[in-house]
Amino acid sequence: MDQLNIEINGLVFDRADYDADGDVLYLGRGENLAASDAALTPEGHGIRYGPGGEVIGVTIINARLILDRDGHITITLPHEVRVGEDALAPALT
């Protein structure tokens, strides 16, 4: 994962890996810990939680497709937030 800072709803993700073939964006924050829990958002994205219940990762399915179609990505973390292309652009290269 590349080192960078992407902020979503006050959470700063410092790692990103974009699979252009599958159009999947993986975001991670903090140490690269194994998730103790995971869940799908209503939008179909994956959220990984650390041992203390903190969000340590987000997997955004169809990231480029959704941004091109809607101009933003909606993620429920646990409240719905919209993330614009400006915030995700550094990770989608």
pLDDT tens for each residue of the chain, 93 residues long: 666 889 888 899 999 999 999 999 999 998 877 788 889 999 999 999 988 888 999 999 999 999 999 999 999 887 778 888 888 988 887
CA 37 to chain centre: 16
User: 13-21 contacts: CB < 8 A, separation 24 or more?
Assistant: 13/57, 13/58, 16/90, 16/91, 17/91, 18/63, 18/91, 18/92, 18/93, 20/64
The string of DSSP codes covering 42-54 is TTS-EEEE-TTS-
Structural tokens at position 14:
């410092």
Q: What is the pLDDT of residue 17?
A: 93
Q: What is the pLDDT of residue 80?
A: 79
Q: CA-to-CA distance for 18 and 88, rounded, in angstroms?
A: 10
